[in-house]
C-alpha cells in the first residue's frame, strides 16, 4: 500500500476510447494490498478490458465477497455500482441484482476461499442458472488475509511458507465449473496480461456465466519455493492451450483456415474470438474431451491456461425464466403491481 495517491498526471499519448475516456478514467482507489500482489495485476487487466471495450462506468456493477480478492473492486472503475457482500455470498447477490436489472454489466471478483470454500454452493448454483456475468476467481491457493493457511485450492504437495506439506486434494474451479455445466471457462495468470485481457473481453461478451480462474500469486504467503501457486512455478508449468484474441467487430466468418493457423469463432452478439491452437488435439467445445484432458493435466501438475471451454448455445437465466426484457425499474408500476382485482383473479385460478 502507499500513502500517496497515484499522481493525476497523464501520459500525453493516452488515447480516449469511444466514450472519450482514457484508461486512467477506469481506475479506482489506491490498492491497500501487499506490494507485488497478483490481484493488483488482475485489477490492471480489468481496467484495460473495460477501457478497451468502451463500457460506460455507470453501466457496470462490480460485486465481491470477503478476502483479499474481494477488496479489489474498490481499485477499479470508481464510477461503477458496487456491492461488497457477506463471505461467499457474492454469487447469490449477483443473481438477485441480475434478476432485477439485466441491463447492467456484471463483474464479480472472488477468491479461492470465497468461492471454493464458504461460497462453493452459491457458485455452483450461479453456474447452473447460467447467470449472465463475468466471474473472476483470483486464485492464490492460500488464505492470505488470515496469515497463510492452506486453502481449498492448495495442490497436494504444495508447501506452506513454514514448510508444512498439504495433503488434501484441491478443488479445481475449472473442473467444477465444466462439470456443473458452465458455458464459458477460462484460466489465466496475473503475470500474463497479454493472455488475460482477451480472456476477460471474451468472457464479458459471452452471454451467460463466464468463469475466469486466474492464478494470482500471494507474494507474502505463497510465493516461496515449494508452492505451486508462485510466480516461478506458474511460469514454469503454465501450458497455454489456445492463444485467443477477442475481435469486437462482427464479421461473417467465411474463410476456412488450414490446420494450425488462426481461426475465428463467433459469439452470440456477432463479435468473434480468434484462436491459435497451441496444444495438440484441443477442442474447447467438446466438453467430454476437455474434461478428460484437464483431469489428465491436473495429475501431471501442468497448469493449462487459455479459453478452456466455451458453449455458445447455452441458455442464460433470463431466457430460461422468460422474464421481461428490461430492468424491473423500467416496468410501469401498474404492470409490476396490477392491483387487488388482478390478484384475486390469479388466486381464483388456483382454487
Partner 1 sequence: MRLYVTVGAVSRAQRGRGQFETRTSYEKTVPPTNVNNPSYFHKVVDCQWACPAHTNVPEYIRLIAQGCFTEAYMLNRKSNVFPGILGRTCDRPCEPACRRGRVEEKPVAICRLKRVAADHRDDDIKPLLPRVPEKKNGKRIACIGAGPASLTVANDLMPLGYEVTIFEKLAVPGGLMRSNIPSFRLPQRVLDDEIGMILDMGVDIRYNSPISSMKALLDEGGFDAVFVGSGAPKGKDLEIPGRHDSDKIYIGIDWLTSVAFGHITEIEERVLIIGVGNTAMDCCRTSARLGGKDIKVMARRPRAYFKASPWELEDAEEENVQIVINHAPKSFVIEDGKLKGMMFDRLEWNGDATKSTLIDTVFIPADAVILAIGQEGAFPWIERDIGIEFDKWGMAKVDKKTFMCTRPGVFFGGDAAWGPENIIWAVEHGHQAAISIDAYCQGASLTERPPEGMNLLSTKMGIHEWAYSNDYNVARRQKMVHVDLAERFKQMNIEVETGFTPEQTAREVERCLNCDVQTVFSTKKCIECDACIDICPVLCLTITKDGEESDLRTRLSAPAKNLKQAIYTSEALPQTGRVMVKDEDLCVHCGLCAERCPTAAWDMQKFDLLKPYAGTPACEVKP
| 132-146 core/surface letters (b: 16 or more CB in 10 A; e: else) | bbbbbbbbbbbbbbe
Question: How far, in Å, CA of 152 to CA of 70, rounded?
Answer: 17
Closer Cβ to partner 1, 204 or 303, answer by number: 303
Of the candidates 278, 104, 107, 91, which has an alpha carbon nearest to the alpha carbon of residue 176?
91
Question: How far, in Å, CA of 21 to CA of 96, rounded?
Answer: 30
Smallest separation (angstroms) from partner 1 to the CB of 338? 38
Radius of gyration of the chain from its Cα atoms, rounded to whole angstroms = 21
Residue 279 is a binding residue for partner 1 (CB under 8 A) = yes
| Interface pattern 131-170 for partner 1 (x via CB under 8 A) | ----------------------------------------
Residue 284 is a binding residue for partner 1 (CB under 8 A) = yes
Question: How far, in Å, CA of 36 to CA of 17, rounded?
Answer: 28
Q: Find the binding residues for partner 1 in span 93-132 (CB under 8 A).
A: none
Q: Find the binding residues for partner 1 in span 177-236 (CB under 8 A).
A: 190-193, 217, 219-220, 223, 231-232, 234-236
Smallest separation (angstroms) from partner 1 to the CB of 77? 15
Residues binding partner 1: number (CB under 8 A): 64
Closer Cβ to partner 1, 313 or 335, answer by number: 313
Q: Among 89, 229, 277, 318, which residue sits at the site for partner 1 (rule: CB under 8 A)?
A: 277
Q: Among 260, 288, 299, 348, which residue sits at the site for partner 1 (rule: CB under 8 A)?
A: 260
Smallest separation (angstroms) from partner 1 to the CB of 319? 15
Q: Among 17, 282, 297, 298, which residue sits at the site for partner 1 (rule: CB under 8 A)?
A: 282
Which window, 155-163, 169-177, 201-209, 278-286, contacts partner 1 (CB under 8 A)? 278-286
Question: How far, in Å, CA of 186 to CA of 133, rounded?
Answer: 14
Q: Among 1, 299, 341, 349, which residue sits at the site for partner 1 (rule: CB under 8 A)?
A: 1
Which residues lie below 8 Å from residue 260, measured CB to CB, with a gap of 6+?
Answer: 277
Residue 275 is a binding residue for partner 1 (CB under 8 A) = yes
| Other beta carbons within 10 Å of 296 | 11
Closer Cβ to partner 1, 38 or 108, answer by number: 38
Of the candidates 220, 221, 243, 222, which has an alpha carbon nearest to the alpha carbon of residue 234?
222
Question: How far, in Å, CA of 268 to CA of 244, rounded?
Answer: 17
- DSSP assigned state of 76: B
Residue 315 is a binding residue for partner 1 (CB under 8 A) = no
Written as nine digits, the cell of 115 is 468461492
Closer Cβ to partner 1, 194 or 335, answer by number: 194
Which window, 28-36, 88-96, 139-147, 166-174, contacts partner 1 (CB under 8 A)? 28-36
Classify the C-alpha dihedral 9-25-194-34 as positive or negative: positive
Give yes or no for a contact between 229 and 141, defined as CB atoms under 8 angstroms apart. Answer: yes
Q: Among 19, 29, 35, 331, which residue sits at the site for partner 1 (rule: CB under 8 A)?
A: 35
Q: Among 313, 332, 333, 335, which residue sits at the site for partner 1 (rule: CB under 8 A)?
A: 313
Inter-helix orientation angle 173-180/287-300, to 10°: 160
Grid-cell match 469511444, residue found = 18
Closer Cβ to partner 1, 81 or 235, answer by number: 235
Written as nine digits, the cell of 89 is 455470498
Which window, 82-90, 117-125, 283-291, 331-339, contacts partner 1 (CB under 8 A)? 283-291
Written as nine digits, the cell of 278 is 497451441
Which window, 119-127, 160-168, 238-246, 335-343, contacts partner 1 (CB under 8 A)? 238-246
**Residue 265, class by beta-carbon neighbours within 10 Å (0-12 exposed, 13-18 middle, 19+ buried)?**
middle
Question: How far, in Å, CA of 60 to CA of 76, rounded?
Answer: 11
Summarize as ranges the residues that interact with partner 1 (CB under 8 A).
Answer: 1-14, 24, 34-38, 40-41, 43-44, 190-193, 217, 219-220, 223, 231-232, 234-240, 242, 257, 259-260, 263, 265-266, 268, 275-285, 310-313
Amino acid at each position: 500500500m502507499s500513502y500517496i495517491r497515484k499522481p493525476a498526471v497523464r501520459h500525453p499519448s493516452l488515447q480516449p476510447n469511444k466514450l472519450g475516456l482514457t484508461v486512467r478514467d477506469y481506475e479506482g482507489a489506491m490498492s491497500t494490498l501487499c506490494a507485488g500482489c497478483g490481484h493488483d495485476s488482475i485489477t490492471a487487466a480489468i481496467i484495460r478490458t473495460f477501457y478497451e471495450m468502451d463500457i460506460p462506468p455507470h453501466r457496470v456493477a462490480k460485486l465481491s465477497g470477503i478476502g483479499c480478492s474481494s477488496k479489489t473492486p474498490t481499485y477499479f472503475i470508481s464510477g461503477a455500482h458496487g456491492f461488497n457482500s457477506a463471505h461467499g455470498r457474492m454469487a447469490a447477490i449477483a443473481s438477485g441484482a441480475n434478476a432485477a436489472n439485466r441491463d447492467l454489466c456484471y463483474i464479480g471478483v472472488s477468491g479461492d476461499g470465497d468461492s471454493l470454500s464458504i461460497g462453493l454452493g452459491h457458485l455452483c448454483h450461479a453456474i447452473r442458472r447460467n447467470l449472465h456475468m463475468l466471474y473472476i476467481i483470483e486464485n492464490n491457493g492460500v488464505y492470505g488475509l488470515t496469515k497463510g493457511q492452506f486453502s481449498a485450492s492448495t495442490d497436494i504437495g504444495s508447501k506452506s511458507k513454514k514448510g508444512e506439506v498439504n495433503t488434501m486434494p484441491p478443488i479445481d474451479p475449472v473442473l467444477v465449473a465444466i462439470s456443473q455445466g458452465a458455458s464459458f471457462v477460462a484460466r489465466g495468470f496475473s503475470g500474463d496480461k497479454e493472455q488475460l485481457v482477451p480472456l476477460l473481453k471474451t468472457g464479458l461478451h459471452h452471454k451467460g456465466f463466464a468463469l475466469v480462474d486466474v492464478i494470482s500469486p500471494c507474494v507474502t504467503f505463497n510465493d516461496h519455493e515449494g508452492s505451486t501457486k508462485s510466480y516461478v512455478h506458474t511460469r514454469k508449468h503454465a501450458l497455454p492451450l489456445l492463444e485467443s484474441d477477442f475481435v469486437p467487430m462482427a464479421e461473417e466468418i467465411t474463410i476456412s483456415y488450414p490446420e494450425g493457423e488462426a481461426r475465428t469463432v463467433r459469439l452470440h452478439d456477432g463479435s468473434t474470438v480468434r484462436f491459435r491452437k497451441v496444444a495438440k488435439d484441443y477442442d474447447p467445445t467438446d466438453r467430454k474431451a476437455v474434461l478428460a484432458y484437464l483431469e489428465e493435466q491436473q495429475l501431471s501438475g501442468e497448469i493449462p491456461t487459455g479459453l478452456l471451454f466455451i458453449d455458445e448455445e447455452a441458455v442464460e437465466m433470463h431466457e430460461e425464466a422468460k422474464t421481461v426484457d428490461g430492468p424491473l425499474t423500467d416496468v410501469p408500476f401498474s404492470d409490476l403491481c396490477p392491483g387487488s382485482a388482478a390478484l384475486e383473479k390469479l388466486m381464483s385460478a388456483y382454487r
